Structure 1
Amino acid sequence: MATIYDVAKAANVSPKTVSRVLNSDAPVGKKTRDAVEAAMAALGYVPSSAARMMRSNRSGLIGLITGAISTTAQDTQISGLPELQIVQGIQTVIAPSGNTLMIADTGGDSSRVPGLIDTFIQHRVEGLLYVAEYHQQVHLPKVPANTPMVLVNCFDENNTPAVIPDDRRGQRELVSRLIQAGHDRIAYLTLRENIIATPLRKQGYRDALEAAGLPYDPALVQACEIDNPEGETQVLWDAIDTMLRFDQPPTVICCGNDRLALKVYGILRSRGMKVPDEISVAGYDNYRVIAETLYPPLTTVELPYTAIGVRAAQRLLGMISGESRDSANPAIVAGPVHWRGSVTEQRRSNVTQLKILRED
């Protein structure tokens, strides 16, 4: 990153002269001004108003772009604040590093992102973090090669350093625990098909079944998340009604997230069914406002947002210092299964018993 001293040397003038050109606070001859401006253009120097940057090669600033601040109250109540948790994780690493985290909010408008990136670069941040609201592929403008960037909860096609959740492993470990508890008819009500997490978690579901020697039954898997809350409840009710009419109904229902699990609790109770006495339920996210307040408390998988933020900040600081040891891209972060009262032990079927006997 070029400094004012580099510009002065290239233009064969003093740093004070460069400062005068930048601030227009003293007369400078046209020939000298032209030389300074040509040097700045050649070196890719970005002017900054901070006096600290006039004296040092480091700004101590880290730029972060997110939508967490503008998340609506309704979104908070229903699905939590994953972006905010990620930002908190980032700050726990940035603060003790002696750097300052500058946060810009998109206001929910992705078209603002290029302008925010430009603003941060003009302030000569030492690195950039972009935080997505859910696991997804993003398309961002390129940043200068001398400005490290880490994508958080997202990735792109340019192999930009990224940190994402391990959705496949999370679902696999949950279903494996359910199988260990004796469940071999496991329904899965998934999120939307067009998001990255869904195929990954479905594969994790199938991985666990295969490892246990259990067949995959596509009739037990249905996408139930839609944008219309009332319509979504109807879709869930129909899926559950259909599955409960099978000759071999499921003994446990896995839900794509804890919000869906909350609705499933209500649907089952409206049918007079007790959780987990008559059927078990599991979620995904470990959104504690839901998982710990439901009765019985919800078995679910942690989406490790705080850990993702910590890992992303550590990765960026390593890139800035040149000491990064994290070469995997994207870096994948897994979360644990939280086993609570919504799942009960089942008598194992012959298929599962045979599998266990083979392993023993």
Structure 2
Amino acid sequence: MSSIKDVAIKANVSVKTVSRILGGFEGVSEKTRQRVKKAMEELEFYPSAAAQALRGQEKGVVCLITENLTTTPDSFDIIAGIQHECEKNKKLLMIGESGGSADSFSRLVDDFRRQRAEAIIFATVSHKEVKIKESFNKCPLILVNCYEKSLRHPTILPDDYLGALQLTEELIKHGHKHIAYLTLFNNMAATPLRIKGFQDAHAKAGLMVDEAAIREGVCDNKDDEFAELPQVLKDIMSRSERPTAICCGNDKMAMRVFMLIRQMGYKIPETISIVGYDNYKLIAENLLPKLTTVSLPYFDMGQIAAKIAINKELQSNTKIQEISGQLQLRGSHSFAKT
């Protein structure tokens, strides 16, 4: 790497002159300033961020710690939202992956603090509770898609309750009175919230919920999380009051249900409607018919988190902000005639 001395030699000036220019001091002719700038460009010299910070000239760095967001297509929009806001405010975004390791998280926090981060954002792939042992008195922490019970930090979460409520209301509006719900794991934070939305939509419409038709659609099989779906569907569809619609815990589950329900002789949406959750576009827009689902507001969540990271006045609000997704109405949810 080139040094300040290399720049001085190439520009034929003193090290002190280069230092004055980097420090933004007056008293250097424009001709000399341009000569030094040209030398810096040719030598690919960049002033130390730490040195600039000491002179009060730091650009501003926002840091993001994720578990596996960079390799998870349906969650990547969180990063896109953060990057959009950082770019708009001319902030540098630095990203580190913890892989879910508490030790890696601590190491990244230390590394980012050495980079004089204005704030650190921690985002997880799924909505869940986390435990943070580090203190963040000087460099604030913003949580995205995760939360602490103690609510020490600004927290941005998807409104899973509202998403399930609106999706179920849409099915009821289309005439469905018997709706099954295949959930994700019951111990996931989103599952009870979505079940509550599902139940409340029925209550608002004066309909009874068939609790036996609410089943886990996933299992602990490492090779195939949907390995038990065939039996679950067989049980549900063999009921005396069979459902005319099925809500799926996510779009990946809905894709499997599409295949299995057709193997059982049903047509979508003519004899049964299927809806998903997440709006994983690679799936939702390529199924036939296209999948009705609810988007997870990841881009908006990331953008709001970045705004908090950049604006110190917003950092004192440690309450949870719940962001609602949008219904994505396609062709898989129309009324199923019985």
> Could you say which TM-score interval applies, normalised by the shorter chain?
0.7 to 0.9
Report what 1:259 is aligned to.
252
| Cα distance, 1:228 vs structure 2 | 2.0
What is the TM-score normalised by the length of structure 1? 0.76
Listed one character per residue, the Cα deviations across residues 266-289 of structure 1 (whole Å, up to 9, x for unaligned) are: 101111211111111000000000
Matched AA of 2:55: R
| Cα distance, 1:326 vs structure 2 | 8.6
Pairing partner for 1:343 from 289, 308, 333: 333
Report what 2:106 is aligned to.
114
Distance change >3 Å, CA 216–CA 223, structure 1 → 2: same
**Does the CA-based 8 Å contact 1:58-1:126 persist in structure 2?**
no
Matched AA of 2:324: A
Distance change >3 Å, CA 119–CA 232, structure 1 → 2: closer
In structure 1, what is the Cα distance between the partners aligned to 2:272 and 2:178?
A: 11
1:50 correspondence with 2:40: no
Report what 1:66 is aligned to.
66
**Does the CA-based 8 Å contact 2:155-2:321 persist in structure 1?**
yes
**Does the CA-based 8 Å contact 2:140-2:315 persist in structure 1?**
no
Matched AA of 1:129: I
**Does the CA-based 8 Å contact 2:69-2:125 persist in structure 1?**
no
**Does the CA-based 8 Å contact 2:81-2:299 persist in structure 1?**
yes
Between 1:127-136 and 1:140-149, the stretch displaced more is: 140-149
**Does the CA-based 8 Å contact 1:315-1:326 persist in structure 2?**
no
**Does the CA-based 8 Å contact 2:62-2:310 persist in structure 1?**
no
| Cα distance, 1:145 vs structure 2 | 1.1
**Does the CA-based 8 Å contact 1:70-1:107 persist in structure 2?**
no
Listed one character per residue, the Cα deviations across residues 49-107 of structure 1 (whole Å, up to 9, x for unaligned) are: 62111101755111111134663xxxx5xxx340x210111010011112111111224
Pairing partner for 2:148 from 148, 156, 166: 156
1:190 correspondence with 2:183: yes
In structure 2, what is the Cα distance between the partners aligned to 1:190 and 1:336?
A: 19
What is the TM-score normalised by the length of structure 2? 0.81
**Does the CA-based 8 Å contact 1:70-1:108 persist in structure 2?**
no
Report what 1:271 is aligned to.
264
In structure 1, what is the Cα distance between the partners aligned to 2:326 and 2:228?
A: 29
**Does the CA-based 8 Å contact 2:178-2:242 persist in structure 1?**
yes
In structure 1, what is the Cα distance between the partners aligned to 2:81 and 2:68?
A: 13
| Cα distance, 1:142 vs structure 2 | 2.5
Report what 2:81 is aligned to.
89
| Cα distance, 1:346 vs structure 2 | 4.9
| Cα distance, 1:154 vs structure 2 | 0.6
Report what 1:146 is aligned to.
138
Matched AA of 2:335: E
Report what 2:229 is aligned to.
236
Partner of 1:281: helix, strand, or coil? strand
Partner of 2:199: helix, strand, or coil? helix
Pairing partner for 1:125 from 114, 117, 123: 117
1:101 correspondence with 2:111: no
Matched AA of 1:50: A
In structure 1, what is the Cα distance between the partners aligned to 2:236 and 2:99?
A: 41
Partner of 1:50: helix, strand, or coil? helix
Between 1:255-264 and 1:59-68, the stretch displaced more is: 59-68
In structure 2, what is the Cα distance between the partners aligned to 1:325 and 1:155?
A: 15
Report what 2:25 is aligned to.
none
| Cα distance, 1:291 vs structure 2 | 0.3
Pairing partner for 1:307 from 300, 304, 308: 300
Report what 1:172 is aligned to.
165
In structure 2, what is the Cα distance between the partners aligned to 1:229 and 1:266?
A: 21
Matched AA of 2:123: V
In structure 2, what is the Cα distance between the partners aligned to 1:175 and 1:68?
A: 31
Distance change >3 Å, CA 120–CA 168, structure 1 → 2: same
Matched AA of 1:202: I
Pairing partner for 1:330 from 320, 323, 331: 320
In structure 2, what is the Cα distance between the partners aligned to 1:329 and 1:288?
A: 31
* Identity rate, percent: 36
Report what 1:355 is aligned to.
none
Partner of 2:107: helix, strand, or coil? helix
Partner of 2:180: helix, strand, or coil? strand
| Cα distance, 1:325 vs structure 2 | 8.8
In structure 2, what is the Cα distance between the partners aligned to 1:299 and 1:89?
A: 24
Partner of 1:91: helix, strand, or coil? helix
Between 1:284-293 and 1:89-98, the stretch displaced more is: 89-98
Report what 2:238 is aligned to.
245
